[in-house]
Amino acid sequence: MTDETIGSVGYRDVPAEQGGAAGRTWWDANAEEYLDEHGDFLGAVEFCWCPEGLREADAHLLGDLDGRRVLEVGAGAAQCSRWLAARGVEVVATDVSGGMLGRGAALNASTGVPVPLVQADARRLPFADASFDVAFTSFGAIPFVPDAGAIHREVARVLRPGGSWVFSVTHPLRWAFPDDPSTHGLTANRSYFDRRPYVETDTAGRVAYAEYHRTFGDHVREVVAAGLLIEDVVEPEWPADNQEVWGGWGPVRGAYLPGTAIFRTRSAG
């Protein structure tokens, strides 16, 4: 949205269905701009977990994928899935936004590394029970829904017993600080415990963007309630050679505060 089309900005409760629906309409409207801004950093056939630049090639958070069937939810333009496909992994990329998947289709064609793209809300996946060995998302879906528990339950349903679900999200601690990559962003100015979403409305008062906060404990409870076991939580440090500024993420804050949490979980099966 531009300054002319934004009606209001702030932290406030909105009806859950409006907040969740904005997860599709905002990404449809902003796919182009988002990928023009961040596409180079993300790459086209690259698996990046977070603005810290942690790559799956180095982190191996998904483990050995030989012979495994893999699902990506909230895949955006499916760069991560494409990186896996280029290594011979059977993978399906899903996202709720047709705009983001359209950019994914363009990258499928331009890179010569096509991956199947399926439009789906991560809370209602169009797949059979126990049909994947591994599922993951890099910052997809979870921050944009009021009911992340629904995503965890749905992923648990489509995973085979013992299958793994790995997801990266904004580090919960960040909520207490201004979304500013400079030193101004180092002073807490709001409550970590305030769960009201960050909401932008359009000039007609409709919810155009909503981002939801969960404390660390909230994430743990939602994952465990879905019948998943937590194996690890990775908090990537900011590498000295990464000068990228991405919204409130950047080297200045990265030197002091975590920006990302990556949960490695497993279906108890």
Ligand X SMILES: C[S@@+](CC[C@H](N)C(=O)[O-])C[C@H]1O[C@@H](n2cnc3c(N)ncnc32)[C@H](O)[C@@H]1O
Count Cβ atoms within 10 A of the Cβ of residue 17 and give its class: 0-12 exposed, 13-18 middle, 19 or more buried: exposed
Out of 95, 154, 200, 211, which residue is the one contacting ligand X (CB under 6 A)? 95
Closest CB 203 distance from ligand X, rounded Å: 23
57 membership: H or E segment, kind and range: helix 56-59
Out of 19, 23, 146, 181, which residue is the one contacting ligand X (CB under 6 A)? 23
Closest CB 133 distance from ligand X, rounded Å: 20
Out of 44, 93, 100, 134, which residue is the one contacting ligand X (CB under 6 A)? 100
Taking CB under 6 A as the criterion, which residues in 117-156 touch ligand X?
121-123, 138-141, 144-145
Size of the site for ligand X (CB under 6 A): 20
Tell me the C-alpha to C-alpha distance, in Å, between residue 163 and each of 34, 71, 118, 166, 269.
Answer: 32, 11, 21, 10, 8
Closest CB 262 distance from ligand X, rounded Å: 12
Closest CB 8 distance from ligand X, rounded Å: 21
Interface segment toward ligand X; rule CB under 6 A; list 53-61, 115-123, 211-219, 232-240: 115-123
Regarding 254 and contact with ligand X (CB under 6 A), the answer is no
Long-range pairs for 173-178: beta carbons < 8 A, 24 or more residues apart: 173/257, 173/258, 174/248, 174/257, 174/258, 174/259, 175/213, 177/248, 177/253, 177/257, 178/248
- Within 13 A of 219's CA, how many CA atoms are on the CB side? 23
Identify which of residues 186 and 246 has a Cβ nearer to ligand X in the complex.
246
Closest CB 27 distance from ligand X, rounded Å: 3
Question: What is the binding site for ligand X (CB under 6 A)?
Answer: 23, 27, 42, 73-74, 76, 80, 95-97, 100, 121-123, 138-141, 144-145
